[in-house]
Amino acid sequence: MFDLLQSWLSSFLYDWLAILITLVIQAVAVVLPLMLAVAYLTLAERKVIGFMQVRMGPNRVGYLGMLQPIADALKLMLKEIVLPSQANLYLFIIAPVLAIAPAIAAWAVIPFNEDGMVVSNINAGVLYVLAISSIGVYGIIISGWASNSKYAFLGAMRASAQKISYEIAMGFALVTVLMVAGSMNLTEIVEGQRGGLVNWYWIPLLPMFFVYFISGLAETNRAPFDVAEGESEIVAGFHVEYSGMAFAVFFLAEYAMMILISFMTAIMFLGGWLSPFEGIPVLETAFAWVNGFVWLALKVAFLLFLFLWFRATFPRYRYDQIMRLGWKVLIPLTIVWVFVVMLMKYTNFGPWFN
Amino acid sequence: MTFLEFIFYVLATIASISALMMISVKNPVKAALWLVLSFIATAGVWLTAQAEFLGLVLILVYVGALMVLFLFVVMMLDINVSQIKEKFASYLPIGILTSIAVFIILYMVVGPGHFGLEKYLPPEPFSAGYSNTEALAIPLYTEHAYAFILAAVLLLVGIVAAITLTLRRQSTTMVLYQDIDKQVKTNAKDRFKMVKMDAVVEHDIPKVEEDK
C-alpha cells in the first residue's frame, strides 16, 4: 500500500521528498493508534483495578468514563511545567523526549497482520527492538540527574540498574526464540508457528515465556517491580520534579513500552496474528473470516490485562530481591534453556523443529 | 544526491560534531552523553553501509549497557574540573606535539591516499534476503571456533578477576550479612505459633458497679 503511495508521489515530486513523505505518513499511521491505545489503557487500568478492589473506577466524564483519558490529557496540558532552579535545563527538557522516542521508534518493525502491515520488514527485527528499547534507559538517567534532586537521582539509579539487569534475561529469552525460529525477522518468526495452538512457541519455550514476561514487567517498571516510583520511599522516583505535560510524556512512554512488550510476547510466543483454531475441523472454517489483526489484538489485550491484574494483586518487591531474581534466578534459567533448546533442535523434538 | 547519501551526510555530521563536543565540553556527564550521540550516529552510518548487525550491536552493547555504567560512575563521582586543569598551560606544548604526532601516524595509516574508487571497487549491494547476522555467525562458529572460545574464556577470566577484587568478607562481628536464601525460605510456621484453645466462656465476671 505504501509502496504504491511512494511511486505515485515520486511521479511528480523529487524522489527523496516522496520517500520522506511516505515515511512520515507511515510513522503517523502507527503513532496515532498507539497514542489512542495508550490513552484507553490508562482508563482500562483504573477501571480494572477499580473493579478488583470493589470500586467503580472513573465513571463521571462521558458514558462509563469513556472521556476520562481525554479530560486527563487536557488537564495535564494546561498545567504549568515547573523548571526547578539549579537544574540542567537542556537535559531536563530533553529527558522526556529521550524516554518516549525509543518507545515509539521500536514500533517500526512490529508486524500487525499477515498481509505485510508493517512499517519496515527488516531481517534483524528482534535485534532492532532490543537495541532501541535499550536506549530508553537514558530518559530515566538523564531526568534523574538533570533534576538536581536527591530523590530523583536515587530513583533514576534504581530504575536504570533494574532495567539493564533485566535486559540480559530478556535478550537470552529472545535467543531461544531465534534458535527455534531460525530467523530474526518478526514476520518469519510468526509464520514459523503456523499450525494451531500446539505449534506456537510457548510450549517448547514455556519457562522462557514466563521469563520474558516477568522481565518485561521489570523493564517497564511496573508492579510488582515498580521500585522506581516507590511512593512510600522516594516520593515518585526519577520524575518527582516534572509536572504537567513533561510528566505525562514519561507516562506515555511507560504505557507505550507496556503495549510493545505485550506485542513482542504475543508475536514471539503466542503465534502473533495466527488463529488459535487452526487445524480444528469446524472452528477453523467458522472463524476463517476473522482478520489476523483481531487475533493479535485479542492476545495483546489479554497480556495487558495481566499487567493490570498483577498490579492489583502483588505487593512491591524489595530492591535486593528484585536484583536477586534477575541475576540469580532468571539469567541462569535462560542460559540452561538455551542448552535445552539446543538438544531439542539436535533431536528434532516435536512439531517445532521440522 | 540520493536519499541514502543525504542520510549518510546528516549522520556523519552529527557523529563528527558530537565527537568534537565530547572532548571539548567541560562537564564529564555531558561528555558521556555526547559520546552516546556519537555512537548512535555511527551506528546509523553502519546501517547505511548495510552492516545492520554491527550497527545494532553497537547500540545494544555500547549505548545500552556500557555507557550507562559509565554514566553511573561519572554521575556519582564529584569531579573537580579546576583541579584537573591546574597544569593545563604547562603541559600544553607537549600535548600539542603528541597530538600532531598521533595525527601524522593516523594520516599515514588511514589517510585519504589509501581509499577511493580507484583503489577499491564499490561494494556490490546485497540482495534483499541477505542476512548479515548469518554471514557473520557461520565463519565465527566454524572457521574461527577456537579463537572464539579463547576470547570467551579470556572474558570469563576477566569477570572472575573483577569479582575477586571486590569480594571480601569481613567477620560477622564487624559487618552483618544478609542470607537471602534463608530469608526467602522462611515460613509463617517458623515465626508465628498458632495456639489451639477451647472456646471457654469465663463465668463469674464481677459486675462493675456503676457510680451513682
Residue pair A139/A99 in contact by the 8 Å Cβ criterion: yes
Say yes or no: B115 and B66 in one domain. Answer: no
Check residue B113 and report its DSSP letter: G
Say yes or no: B97 and B168 in one domain. Answer: no
The answer to whether residue B70 sits within a structural domain is yes
Say yes or no: B13 and B67 in one domain. Answer: yes
- What is the number of domains present in chain B? 3
Please tell me the predicted confidence (pLDDT) of residue A234.
Answer: 64
Is the Cα dihedral A272, A276, A280, A283 positive or negative? Answer: negative
Going by pLDDT thresholds of 50, 70 and 90, the confidence category of residue B211 is low
Q: Is the pLDDT of residue B97 over 80?
A: yes
Q: Is the pLDDT of residue B212 over 70?
A: no
* Chain B contact set for A122 (CB, 8 A): 52
Q: Is the pLDDT of residue B210 over 80?
A: no
Top-confidence residue, B127 or A218: A218
Please tell me the predicted confidence (pLDDT) of residue B190.
Answer: 80
Residue-number span of the structural domain to which B115 is assigned: 92-122
Say yes or no: B73 and B33 in one domain. Answer: yes
ipTM for the whole complex: 0.85
Q: Is the pLDDT of residue B204 over 80?
A: no
The answer to whether residue B181 sits within a structural domain is no
Say yes or no: B59 and B98 in one domain. Answer: no
The answer to whether residue B37 sits within a structural domain is yes
A164:B59 CB<8 A: no
Residues 146 through 165 of chain A touching chain B, CB cutoff 8 Å: 153, 157, 160-161, 164
* Chain A contact set for B36 (CB, 8 A): 138
Please tell me the predicted confidence (pLDDT) of residue A315.
Answer: 86
Say yes or no: B113 and B146 in one domain. Answer: no
Top-confidence residue, A259 or B171: A259
The answer to whether residue B138 sits within a structural domain is yes
- A134 touching chain B per CB within 8 A: yes
d(CA A336, CA A330): 10
Please tell me the predicted confidence (pLDDT) of residue A308.
Answer: 92
Q: Pick from A330, A23, A105: which is nearest to B56 by CA?
A: A105
d(CA A21, CA A40): 29
Q: What is the mean pLDDT of chain B?
A: 85
B133-149: average pLDDT: 90
A20:B3 CB<8 A: yes
Report how far Cα B79 is from the mean position of its chain's Cα atoms. Answer: 21
Q: What is the CATH number of the domain that holds B3?
A: 1.20.120.1200
Written as nine digits, the cell of A139 is 530518559
Q: Is A197 exposed, middle or buried (0-12, 13-18, 19+ CB in 10 A)?
A: middle
Q: Is the pLDDT of residue B148 over 90?
A: yes
CA A80 to chain B, closest CA, distance in angstroms equals: 27
The answer to whether residue B198 sits within a structural domain is no
Top-confidence residue, A289 or B17: B17
A320:B178 CB<8 A: yes
B57:A321 CB<8 A: no
Out of B75, B132, B184, closest to residue A145 by CB? B75
Please tell me the predicted confidence (pLDDT) of residue B84.
Answer: 73
Residue pair A125/A185 in contact by the 8 Å Cβ criterion: yes
Domain boundary among B46, B80, B114: B80
The answer to whether residue B64 sits within a structural domain is yes
Q: Lowest mean pLDDT of A48-57, B132-141, B174-183, name the range.
A: B174-183
CA B204 to chain A, closest CA, distance in angstroms equals: 45
Q: Hey, is A38 helix, strand or coil?
A: helix
Say yes or no: B169 and B135 in one domain. Answer: yes
B65:A167 CB<8 A: yes
The answer to whether residue B207 sits within a structural domain is no
Is the Cα dihedral A312, A314, A317, A322 positive or negative? Answer: negative
Q: What is the pLDDT of residues B29-88, one digit of tens each?
A: 889 999 999 999 999 999 888 888 899 999 988 988 888 888 888 888 777 777 777 777
Kindly give the interhelix angle for B28-48 and B3-24, rounded to the nearest 10 degrees: 160
Say yes or no: B99 and B55 in one domain. Answer: no
A184:B131 CB<8 A: yes
* Chain B contact set for A132 (CB, 8 A): 59
d(CA A344, CA A338): 10
B2:A132 CB<8 A: no
The answer to whether residue B140 sits within a structural domain is yes
Out of B3, B53, B184, closest to residue A15 by CB? B3
Top-confidence residue, A202 or B10: B10
Say yes or no: B7 and B47 in one domain. Answer: yes
Give start and end residues of each alpha helix (H) in chain B. Answer: 3-24, 28-48, 52-57, 67-76, 81-84, 88-110, 132-141, 145-166, 180-185, 188-191
d(CA A22, CA A55): 46
Q: Is A119 exposed, middle or buried (0-12, 13-18, 19+ CB in 10 A)?
A: middle
Q: Which residues of chain A have pLDDT under 50?
A: none
